[in-house]
Amino acid sequence: MKTDLRTNIKAIIARAYVRVVGANREPSWWLTETLLPIMSTAAYVFVYKALKAPEEYVGFVILGGTMSSYWIFVLWTMAAQFYWEKEIGNLEIYMIAPISRMSLLLGMASGGLFLATTRAVFIFLAGALIFKVNFAIISLPKLFAVFVLTLTGLYGMGMLFSSLFMLYGREAWHGVTLLQEPVHLMSGFFFPVRNLGFFVALGASLIPMTLGLDAMRQLAFEAGPKSGFINVNVELGALVVLCILFLWVSKHALEYMEKLGKRDGRLTLRWQ
C-alpha cells in the first residue's frame, strides 16, 4: 500500500502523542518505572563492592542498568505491541488504515521513548550520584553516535519481533519473557561482554545492545578500553550494518506477516 509521506508523519505523531499523554495520566508508572528499577541495579553494585572488584565495574553496572530500560521498553511496548492491539480490537483497524505499518511502530516507539528515557535518566543520575561513579569521556560525538545507533538497531529488532508476535497471540507473552533475561546475560548488562569468551561474545554481537554497551563503556570510562571486546570504530561500523539489516528485514517481515495474517484470518482473536 503506497501512502504519501505527510500521512505517515501524521500517523507517527498521533501514536506518539497517545503514549506521552498516557504516561502522564498514570502517576503510579513514575514510581514503578523510576524508583524500583534502581534497586536491581544497586544489588549488582553491592555484589561487586563485596567482592572488591575494580571501581570501574560499578560504573559498568550503572550504565548497563540505564540501557536495560531501553531493552525492556523494546520488548514490552514495541515487540509485543501488535499482540496488545489484537487483544483490544485495534489491529484490524491498523491493517486497513492507508499508512505504513512501520509508521505505526515508529510512532509507538517515539512516544514510549519518553517513559523509557525518564527511567534511564533516573537510574543513571541516582546511580552515579549515590555510588560516586567517575566518568572519563574520551569522545562525546562517538559516544552519542553509539547511543543513537544502538537505539536504532534495537527498534529495528523490535519491529522484527512485532511482525512475529502479531500472528502468534499469547505466545508473544512467552516470547517476551523468554528473551528478557538471556539478553541481559548475552549483552553484558552488568559485566564486560568479553568475559563470555570471544566466540560467544561474537555471536551475542548480533544483538545491537551488546556492541553498543561495550563501545559506550570504552568511551565513557578510563579503564573501559582495557575490558573492551573489540575496537570502538569496528563496533561503530558493525552497529551501522545491524541498523540497516534489522530495518530492512523488519520492513519485509511486517509486509509478509500482514499478508499471511489477512489470508489466514489471524488478525483477530478468533485464532486464540
pLDDT tens per residue across span 28-76: 666 666 677 777 788 888 888 888 888 888 888 888 888 887 887 777 6
Question: For residue 189, how far is the Cα from the chain centroid?
Answer: 12
pLDDT of residue 229: 87
Position 200: which residue type?
A: V
Average pLDDT value for the chain: 79
Q: How far is CA 252 from CA 140, 163, 171, 220, 243, in A?
A: 35, 9, 21, 36, 15
Backbone torsions φ then ψ of 224, nearest 5 degrees: -60, -45
Whether 268 has a pLDDT exceeding 60, the answer reads no
Interval 127-166: pLDDT, tens: 888 888 888 888 888 989 999 999 888 888 887 877 777 6
- C-alpha neighbours within 13 Å on the C-beta side of residue 150: 23
- Closest to 201 (Cα-Cα) out of 209, 189, 210: 210
Q: Which domain holds residue 216?
A: 5-271
Number of domains in the chain: 1
Going by pLDDT thresholds of 50, 70 and 90, the confidence category of residue 17 is confident
pLDDT at 3 over 70: no
Residue 252's H or E segment, with its range, is helix 232-264
Runs of H (alpha helix) within 76-139: 81-88, 91-96, 101-130
Examine the pLDDT at 172 and tell me if it is beyond 70: no
> What is the DSSP secondary-structure string of 185-216?
HHTTTTS-GGGG-HHHHHHHTTSHHHHHHHHH
